[in-house]
Amino acid sequence: MRLVSELLDTAFNAESIAVVGASNSPAASGYYYMRYFLEYGYPGRIYPVNPRYEEVLGIKAYPSVKDIPEKVDYVICCIPAQGVPELLYDCAEKGVKIMHLFTARMRETGSEEVMELEEKIARLAKELNIRFLGPNCMGIYYPKRKIAFGFDFPLEPGKLGMLSQSGGLATIFTRIAAQRGLRFSKVISYGNATDISEADLFEYLLRDEETEVIAAYIEGTTSGRKLYEVLKKVTSVKPVIILKAGRTKAGARAASSHTASISGSTNIWEVGIREAGAIEVKTIDEMLDILTAFYFLGPVSGKRVGVFGGSGGQSVISADEWGEEGFELTPLPSKIQNYIRQNIPPMWWKWLINPVDISILPIDDFSSLKNFKNFIKMMMESPDFDLIAYNVTTCSPLPLELETANLSQCTNIVLDALEGETKPVVAIVDSGYLGIEDLEDQRWRFLAGEKSHLIGAGIPVYPSMCRAAKAIRKLIDYYQSPGNILKVGGKFL
């Protein structure tokens, strides 16, 4: 019997996929799986299966899996639960070893009749030597092979692996993570986990060379001990961030009606996650923030931060928000002070502290832009800072055209100064909670452009100092824990 890991590799790298229940009706799952394969440009062969159609989306359909003339590596099952046992026999006959049961409305409904059916399916699959994801899940997203279960999924592969008990969560998460510059190696939505479990998937991502950081959304487990043992192995090699849902009474009730999960004791989960060396988060924003730090930064050696950008009030707020997370706003080192003294008028240089309020240090006050670049470079190279934070905010009273010209010049100089530097850098770019009219507004368009520009240059970007500080603190704490001295993002501590 082949290992689950090998079978999952077969699924991800399938040369041929059958979509059972393929449909031309746009609201049907058997339609949209087909459509996404075609739109994203899946390079393998697709076989729609549905006795009611000659063709689905222009591709020849087959009445049954058995009728497909060639080998089938992976099956996506979109038919109602009642038809699954027969499909299992057909698949066995066809030599299929791994399937995805999108099919839902099973145990999670609480209906006894379908609970029995779900058990029957599990038994039968075992007898027939077929492993399956789900039921009640979205299956796999694998950008490298253009396999995706929703629109607006990025096609560039990345190094973040994710397992998610909820398909909806995986869907929305993939999209908002993409906006932070995160790209995925593999995402697996695994639903009721009737056969392949979260422990199997952690084990798989542990071995997967394309995955360097792991995110997980879990509602419950039926094998806590196994999960704990696997997690311990994984976290000694790759950072794992877990959002455990179903922490409250109402949450547990909702989890039961969503994926038939037994949420378990919140306290045991908290202790288990911590003891296994993983990082627990409580919200999606927190997960995104921490993943952004791990994805872009690698190890940060300490908590001495140099901050620049913004204006007066922003500097005060920055100082508080870093300070309250345990960071130290080191005074500007004397080498930098001397340099400033030689290049700008006395009133200014006496006045400059960390955070460096750029609004009192107009670029023009340096004798040339080169001097401003040198100043940034000295911040980057100073042994007094473990981390540099750059604040991009349109809070000045200047007319928009001047403000944006200044800021984009500043960003260009900063990126230029970063060339060849290795010190961790983080950027904070203001973001609004945009309404429809704001999408045409030049200010928000400018800020969205700055954010994209910085992420494109490999800088992690956060919407506030506070969120950056909280996330990077977790990163530092992680690397300062014994046993977590690991490879991340290709760097060693």
Give, as ranges, the residues between 89 and 148 that touch a second copy (CB under 8 A). Answer: 105, 108-111, 114, 138
Examine residue 29 and tell whether it contacts a second copy (CB under 8 A): yes
Examine residue 219 and tell whether it contacts a second copy (CB under 8 A): yes
Identify residues 370-389 at the interface with a second copy (CB under 8 A): none
- Applying CB under 8 A, which part among 79-87, 91-99, 205-213, 345-353 lies near a second copy? 345-353
Near a second copy by CB under 8 A: residue from 282, 370, 487, 491 = 282
Near a second copy by CB under 8 A: residue from 5, 10, 236, 311 = 311
Spatial contact of 23 and 56, defined as CB atoms under 8 Å apart:
yes
Size of the site for a second copy (CB under 8 A): 107
- Applying CB under 8 A, which part among 42-50, 56-64, 66-74, 458-466 lies near a second copy? 458-466
Neighbour count for residue 384 (Cβ, 10 Å): 16
Examine residue 27 and tell whether it contacts a second copy (CB under 8 A): yes
Task: Compare residues 32 and 375 and give the one whose CB is closer to a second copy.
Answer: 32
- For every residue of 373-437, DSSP letters joined together read HHHHHHHHH-TT-SEEEEEE---SSS-HHHHHHHHHHHHHHHHHHHTT--S-EEEEE------TG
Which residues are CB-neighbours of 301 under 8 A, at least 6 positions away? 386, 493
Q: 280-301 b/e with 16+ CB inside 10 Å = b? A: bbeeeebbbbbbbbbbbbbbbe
- The end-to-end CA distance of the chain, in Å, is 40
Question: Using CB under 8 A as the criterion, what x/- string covers residues 394-433 for binding a second copy?
Answer: xxxxxxx-x---------------------------xxxx
Maximal C-alpha separation, the chain:
85
Near a second copy by CB under 8 A: residue from 378, 455, 459, 475 = 455
- Applying CB under 8 A, which part among 41-49, 92-100, 346-354, 483-491 lies near a second copy? 346-354
Question: Using CB under 8 A as the criterion, what x/- string covers residues 167-206 for binding a second copy?
Answer: xxxxxx--xx--xx--------------------------
Task: Compare residues 66 and 249 and give the one whose CB is closer to a second copy.
Answer: 249
Task: Compare residues 328 and 381 and give the one whose CB is closer to a second copy.
Answer: 328
Minimum distance, C-beta of residue 32 to a second copy, in the bound complex (Å): 6
Task: Compare residues 50 and 259 and give the one whose CB is closer to a second copy.
Answer: 259
Minimum distance, C-beta of residue 87 to a second copy, in the bound complex (Å): 20
What is the helix (H) or strand (E) element at residue 160, kind and residue range? strand 160-164
Task: Compare residues 57 and 92 and give the one whose CB is closer to a second copy.
Answer: 57
Near a second copy by CB under 8 A: residue from 53, 259, 332, 486 = 259
Taking alpha carbons only, the member of 77, 66, 73 closest to residue 45 is: 73
- For every residue of 199-263, DSSP letters joined together read HHHHHHHHH-TT-SEEEEEES--S-HHHHHHHHHHHHTTS-EEEEE---SHHHHHHHHHHH----
Task: Compare residues 185 and 391 and give the one whose CB is closer to a second copy.
Answer: 391
